[in-house]
Structure 1
């Protein structure tokens, strides 16, 4: 793979911008439309972009793990709905910060599900990351029952969404052992669109013209973000450009500030830095292990020994 750090970083930062923008649109529509309806249109209008990605390597739907795709889609759908619920009620920057706990939950879930033994550095990163969550909670008075215009449960749902997102990532890892990334993405898009279409007649709320345009844009932005992210990780190593995924906090803060008048507090900034710092630390800690694995694989290939 050709390693183009500048291109990969720019593409990934652009992907996070479109993700922040679609969350802002979900926030706008979430006050009048059901979360399930918004999620349906997000999947429906992003489907053409998924097909575009898949067409480059070949559209393959054949699978021996259909049940795995169904389970992955159900969990992913729950995560999407949780995002709509939380962005509707929380400031965009705060929801974005709490979503960055996903790598921390990945470490915790890897123990029972993948039987991994996290290193000491990973445990330190997890402690730092969750200390950032505590700082954000203290800033909102959630730990001592202070009154707030935002319901406390919304923060817990946002934090739980990080865990559900981590479970989704883990399921993708397990499926990718036998399935191509395009097959996984295709089944996800098809199944999520179908699952959200089934209950639609029972919860349907007719959107006005503005909401309808926002729903189209939500799906389009989700698809564009996926294309940009795919291109980013095809351009450079994940460990090198991974930290640029956290630029989403900047976009969320700016859109929240200028679009909704949401000014980030000091506790949110400090907590966000702790959470992001722990994620970057884990990315950097993974790099030597990956380089060692590549070096060992190259040596094995040169000597004819199976890795």
Structure 2
């Protein structure tokens, strides 16, 4: 029950984070918003590690693969950048629906990268899920609406991030993975943000702080959800983000979802739940 509650909280916090991001992205470069998200992430996490004390705090910095953790951080940074660019012009719900196809991509890419096998049930779920993506996106002229490609870049980066987490993060403490993911994003975004910097309006400063706080809180609650319950049990509850995204998009931005978006979301959600439950029934393999 704790795991489920933390996952429900994570979905709400992620949506609150992205709502703040979409608001700021109308007036500031998404690169600047990404920087605020990761710097805020690190400030909150460093404060928590200091509160734990020098001994336990330093213990959290030990990792079995520093290069693997840094690679995870760079992939998450890439996913965030694509997402924030997409939020500037696309509805929250549409971006979310495409991103929720990442478990389908993870399952496919795990075959060559992690030597995992896919059952017929999983294969059928993947086909249904990608069909949902096509329905959601609809017949769009890619040349006149190039922004629709951004969620696919985000989905690819996020799928690779999940695979590298399974490969490099399984032996580290969850806070260790959270720390290095934030550190990589904060360092790289701090290097490039001067080229995209716009002076911050004092009225927008609380929103920048809110984005940083939500960035850390959402990731932490997600990790806690995975810690208290199996991923296959709690992951389907993250699909409630679709409801939050529709509600927040309508209230704050006046976005009214198309019927095709709901149909695509339903198909992707069913496919994701089938994949999660199918994995739980399979015996645990060494690659995990």
Instruction: Give the TM-score, by structure 1 length.
Output: 0.84
With over 3 angstroms needed to count, the CA separation of the structure-2 counterparts of 1:282 and 1:204, relative to structure 1, is: same
With over 3 angstroms needed to count, the CA separation of the structure-2 counterparts of 1:137 and 1:200, relative to structure 1, is: closer
Is it true that 1:287 corresponds to 2:262 in the alignment?
A: no
Number of aligned positions between the proteins: 281
Query: Which residues of 2 match residues 107-122 of structure 1 at below 5 A?
Result: 107-122=107-122
With over 3 angstroms needed to count, the CA separation of the structure-2 counterparts of 1:260 and 1:161, relative to structure 1, is: same
Structure 1: which 4+ aligned runs deviate by more than 6 Å?
none
Looking at structure 2, the residues matched to 227 and 182 of structure 1 have their Cα atoms a distance apart, in angstroms, of: 8
Match of residue 159 from structure 1: 152
1:97–1:272: 8 Å Cα contact kept in structure 2? yes
Return the offset for 1:132. 0.3
With over 3 angstroms needed to count, the CA separation of the structure-2 counterparts of 1:293 and 1:137, relative to structure 1, is: closer
Looking at structure 2, the residues matched to 177 and 19 of structure 1 have their Cα atoms a distance apart, in angstroms, of: 23
Is it true that 1:50 corresponds to 2:40 in the alignment?
A: no
Looking at structure 1, the residues matched to 205 and 249 of structure 2 have their Cα atoms a distance apart, in angstroms, of: 21
Is it true that 1:80 corresponds to 2:73 in the alignment?
A: no
Match of residue 127 from structure 2: 127
Query: Which residues of 2 match residues 202-241 of structure 1 at below 5 A?
Result: 202-241=195-234
Of 240, 255, 262, the residue aligned with 1:262 is 255
With over 3 angstroms needed to count, the CA separation of the structure-2 counterparts of 1:226 and 1:137, relative to structure 1, is: closer
Looking at structure 2, the residues matched to 111 and 255 of structure 1 have their Cα atoms a distance apart, in angstroms, of: 37
Looking at structure 1, the residues matched to 107 and 92 of structure 2 have their Cα atoms a distance apart, in angstroms, of: 25
SS of match in other structure, 2:88: helix
Looking at structure 2, the residues matched to 175 and 208 of structure 1 have their Cα atoms a distance apart, in angstroms, of: 40
Match of residue 301 from structure 1: none
Query: Which residues of 2 match residues 136-151 of structure 1 at below 5 A?
Result: 136-138=136-138, 141-142=139-140, 145=141
Answer with 1 or 2: which has the greater Rg. 1
Is it true that 1:91 corresponds to 2:91 in the alignment?
A: yes
Extract unaligned runs of 5+ from structure 1: 295-307
Match of residue 9 from structure 2: 14
2:97–2:136: 8 Å Cα contact kept in structure 1? no
2:69–2:169: 8 Å Cα contact kept in structure 1? no
Return the offset for 1:106. 0.2
Looking at structure 1, the residues matched to 210 and 240 of structure 2 have their Cα atoms a distance apart, in angstroms, of: 21
Return the offset for 1:199. 1.9
Looking at structure 2, the residues matched to 173 and 215 of structure 1 have their Cα atoms a distance apart, in angstroms, of: 31
Q: What's the RMSD between the two structures over aligned residues?
A: 2.4
Output one character per residue of 1:69-108: Cα deviation in whole Å (capped at 9) or x when no partner. 3322222211110010111111111111111011011012
Match of residue 269 from structure 2: 276
Match of residue 71 from structure 1: 71
Output one character per residue of 1:187-220: Cα deviation in whole Å (capped at 9) or x when no partner. 2212211111112222211111232221110111
SS of match in other structure, 1:277: helix
1:99–1:162: 8 Å Cα contact kept in structure 2? yes
Is it true that 1:188 corresponds to 2:188 in the alignment?
A: no
2:129–2:268: 8 Å Cα contact kept in structure 1? yes
2:10–2:219: 8 Å Cα contact kept in structure 1? yes
2:178–2:220: 8 Å Cα contact kept in structure 1? no
Instruction: Give the TM-score, by structure 2 length.
Output: 0.89
